[in-house]
Structures are given as C-alpha cells and as structure tokens.
Amino acid sequence: MSEDLKKYFTTGEFAKLCRVKKQTLFHYDELGLLSPELKKENGYRYYSYHQFELFQVINLFKEVGVPLKEIKSLIKGKTPGKIVPLLKEKSVEIDDKIKKLQFLQKIIQTKVALAEQALETDFSSVSFQYLSEERFMISRNTLHLPERKYIAAISELIEYVESHELDEGYPVGGIFAREQILKKDFYNYSHFYIKVKEEIDLINYHVRPSGLYAVGYQKGEEVEDTYSRIIQFIEKNGMRIGEYAYEEFMLDEVMVDGFENQITKILIQVEEVK
C-alpha cells in the first residue's frame, strides 16, 4: 500500500470503525450522503479519517428520526441557526416518546402484578379484608340499559380514560348495588369503573368506602354459585351485605384464552347486623 493510501480506510475498515455493515456505506454512497473520498479504477474505495466525524453527524440525525433524504440537505452548509431549531423539535418529540413509553411501562407492570397476584391466590377461598378508600373513574349509569347502550357505555369509559392518558393497566370493573345482589341480578351493573391515577381530579367518579369487604373469586361464568358461597360466608360470620359490591378481573383476555378461564375478584361491602 502506498504512503498516500495509508491515510485512508478501505470500505471494510471504515464500516468496522463506524460499527455498521458495508451495505450501509454502499447505500449512503448511492444516496449521495456519504461517498468514499477516493474511488480507484480497480474498484477499490477509500474513506478518509475526517469522514468518520461526518458519519457520526449523519448517525445522530438518523437516530433522532430525520429521514436520510433530509439529512443529505442538512449536512450541506450547516449553521447553528439551521440545526438548533431542528434539534429542539426532535427533543420535544423524544420527550413525547419517553412519556408514551413510561405510560406503556406502567400498564405492563400493572398487568404483570395482577397476574402474579392471581397465581398466588386460592380461588376457592373467601375472606374478610379491610380496604382503604379508593376513587374510581366510572361510566354513566348502566342499570337496566339494553345491551347495545350497555356496551357503548363501556366503550365511552375506556375511550375517555385512554384519550386522557389515565390508563394504568387495570381492566374494567363493575359495580352492583345491594338490591341487584339480593335479586340475584348478577348481569345488571349500575356502573362500570376503571382504576386510574390517584392524583388526577376525576369528573365522573365513585368512592369505594374504606371498611370491611368479603372477598371471593369467580372463574368463568360461575356467577350465582360464587355469590352464594360469599354470601353464606358473610352470614355465617354474623355480618350482612353492605351498600355495594365490586367486580374486577385478575386474569382477563390479555392473560388467558377464553372467558371460561378468566378470573374475577368479587368484593362485597359488609356491615355488622344490628
């Protein structure tokens, strides 16, 4: 190799230096984005050391989402007045992406936590649990609505929660009034609800009171049997049904195949018999 060529890198050497495949350099050459400084008649192509810095510039613009065709015009006649506004714009876009990824991360973490809790739960058990007060985002009143409007109310609730970025990965739950339980009307919820960020001011919300709740579990469609089992437990322990009952999925369609394998957690508010 001549002394002059010792100052240059072959395509393979330059690709290794830049940690890319040779095909990437060929593509950049075709676009007129980054061409070898020397092209010999025998087909050999050589890059100079200062082109490594140019490659880093191209790579930065590419990483922040600038299309290759736009990069070509950017790298010619660069000035701070031209580049700073672009980078500020990309910084805002990156912040938005970070927020969306954090949003998705929270949803995933919630679903994993619910599934792990379910795997450790004895679904045949019934117990009393003291629960702290909690606020839920709720749907419009769905009591006695026809099926079409019933589904529309759920859809409206989900759309509102998602569009306002309130979703934290919790599935839709349902609220029963005591009257519905006593009449064994287990498919007629008064409202649907979703757990959302606690610090948010909610427009339509329901406060689940703090206090004692009987907690049991339903698999698939064993609704009446499950409620009977929980109510027997309540009465056996000298208590009675309170004002509301709450149903929330522990294992939903994200985790299991088929409704018959879904697990619902049932929480019935209880009070002492006076």
Q: What is the CATH number of the domain that holds 195?
A: 3.20.80.10
For 193-206, the pLDDT digits (tens) are 998 876 667 678 88
Of the candidates 82, 195, 95, the residue with the CA atom closest to the CA atom of residue 137: 195
For 186-195, the pLDDT digits (tens) are 888 899 999 8
- Kindly state whether residue 262 falls inside one of the protein's structural domains: yes
- Kindly state whether residue 153 falls inside one of the protein's structural domains: yes
For 86-108, the pLDDT digits (tens) are 899 999 999 999 988 998 899 89
**Which contiguous run of DSSP H or E holds residue 272?**
strand 263-272
User: Number of folded domains in the chain?
Assistant: 2
One domain for residues 55 and 156: no
- Kindly state whether residue 87 falls inside one of the protein's structural domains: no
pLDDT of 8 > 90? The answer is no
- Kindly state whether residue 246 falls inside one of the protein's structural domains: yes
Phi, psi of 62 (to 5 degrees): -65, -45
Mean pLDDT of 29-40: 90
Cα of 85 vs its chain's centroid, Å: 31
pLDDT of 216 > 70? The answer is yes
One domain for residues 148 and 225: yes
One domain for residues 165 and 226: yes
Q: Which amino acid is at 41?
A: E
One domain for residues 157 and 217: yes
One domain for residues 167 and 244: yes
- Whether 173 and 192 have beta carbons less than 8 Å apart is answered as yes
- Kindly state whether residue 105 falls inside one of the protein's structural domains: no
Mean pLDDT of 157-177: 88
Tokens of 15: 């690709």
One domain for residues 45 and 123: no
- Kindly state whether residue 92 falls inside one of the protein's structural domains: no
One domain for residues 132 and 50: no
Query: How far is it, in rounded angstroms, from Cα 25 to Cα 12?
Result: 9
Q: DSSP class of residue 261?
A: G
**Residue 232 banded pLDDT, cuts 50, 70, 90:** very high
- Whether 194 and 135 have beta carbons less than 8 Å apart is answered as no
Query: How far is it, in rounded angstroms, from Cα 184 to Cα 99?
Result: 44
Mean confidence (pLDDT) of the chain: 87
**Residue 143 banded pLDDT, cuts 50, 70, 90:** confident
One domain for residues 24 and 72: yes
Instruction: Please identify, among 78, 102, 123, the residue that sits at the C-terminal boundary of a domain.
Output: 78
Instruction: Please identify, among 55, 78, 101, the residue that sits at the C-terminal boundary of a domain.
Output: 78
pLDDT of 224 > 90? The answer is no
One domain for residues 244 and 163: yes
pLDDT at 5: 60
**Which contiguous run of DSSP H or E holds residue 22?**
helix 22-31
One domain for residues 172 and 231: yes
One domain for residues 234 and 122: yes
Q: Which domain holds residue 43?
A: 5-78
- Kindly state whether residue 95 falls inside one of the protein's structural domains: no
